[in-house]
Amino acid sequence: MKYKILLLSLPISIFSACSFNSMYLQPTELPEIPPGKEKVSITTKTKNDTTLVEFNTKTLQPTFLKSNKDTINFDFTIESVVFKSTSGNNLNGWLIKPKNLTPTITILHFHGNAGFILSQYQAITPLLNYGFQAFVFDYSGFGFSAGEATRNNVLLDGNSALTYLKSREDVKGTKLVIYGQSLGGHLAAVVAQQRQDDIDALVIEGAFSSHKDIASKTAGIFGRILVSEKYSAFKSIQEYKKPVLVIHSTEDEIIPFKMGQKIFENANAPKEFYEIKKCHICGPEFYADSISQKIINLLSDKGQALPRAERKC
């Protein structure tokens, strides 16, 4: 079974208010696991190879294999967990840690509106070389996460992921940053405003400013009228008081550059806008060093670089 990796795609043909309100979430839903089966295998295309990923059906722990069935050894570890959301659904997440560094900063990653954890985790792993560990998870109805993909559930799930992450002993000694991309960037602004006492900084990349704004891009005034605005990054960012980094590419063909500017203009200091090039939410892939340093600077009281994470022997 092959799954095409998609980070964000908005439909062109919209016929009703219902279809408008469902266009924001397009998850890859995995088949139910047959009773008694120990492993589930998923084949996915990467840049250089076809990768087979075997999931333990009890723990959902992944094992990555090359096309010749050799195990792929990454420079990071993945711990698969299942945690309970206040949406009532069990969610699947991965805590990803660098093998050769002791991280000082934890990133809570909110991914885009399509795919699932297997197609999304690589969007944040380039930062692991700079002293970060990252927690990525699937919203309700995505991947192995139970339930229905709705905007209400996504907001509950984002808050629940933060609550779960803060309960972990290996996170308590680190700075905690929410990093949201695309739909996840919009969500990140809302969760950060609601839970700003629980985080140290916020990063928003390639996000739309509001549901109505992105709907109007797709279908003009009719989109703005038909779509409901359940919550808004544009409004939430005005009440968020901690450090924020807004990243947006001038070459973004999915979310207009001006929407990133709109979020930034309404944010409170301390804040920074990082204008980049390349594709939609490709920042960590092409700008990992500078993005990492900007996050570190945000977390420093004097704007100076914090010490690099300790390298393990």
Q: Can you give the residue ranges of every domain in the chain?
A: 17-32+74-301, 35-73
Q: What is the pLDDT of residues 68-92, one digit of tens each?
A: 889 999 999 999 999 999 999 999 9
How confident is the model at residue 68, as a pLDDT?
81
Does 283 score more than 80 pLDDT? yes
Confidence class for position 308, pLDDT limits 50, 70, 90:
low
Half-sphere exposure of 122 (CA within 13 A, CB side): 14
Choosing among 3.40.50.720, 3.40.140.10, 3.40.50.1820, 3.40.50.2300, the CATH entry for 17-32+74-301 is: 3.40.50.1820
Instruction: Out of 21-30, 209-218, 222-231, 268-277, give the one with best mean pLDDT.
Output: 268-277
Does 304 score more than 80 pLDDT? no
Does 309 score more than 90 pLDDT? no
Phi, psi at 10, each rounded to 5°: -105, 135
Q: Whose CA is closest to 202, among 143, 153, 267, 251?
A: 267
Does 14 score more than 50 pLDDT? no
Rounded Cα–Cα distance for residues 166 and 106 (Å): 10
How confident is the model at residue 257, as a pLDDT?
97
What is the DSSP code string of 97-125?
Answer: EESSEE-SEEEEEE--SEE-HHHHGGGTG
Mean pLDDT of 270-289: 97
Q: What is the pLDDT of residues 130-148, one digit of tens each?
A: 989 999 999 999 999 999 9
Rounded Cα–Cα distance for residues 96 and 171 (Å): 12
How confident is the model at residue 52, as a pLDDT?
92
Does 12 score more than 60 pLDDT? no
Q: Percent of the chain scored above 90 by pLDDT?
A: 67
How confident is the model at residue 46, as a pLDDT?
64
Higher local confidence (pLDDT), 306 or 235: 235
Q: What are the structure tokens assigned to 104, written together?
A: 């000082």
Q: Percent of the chain scored above 70 by pLDDT?
A: 81
How confident is the model at residue 13, as a pLDDT?
40
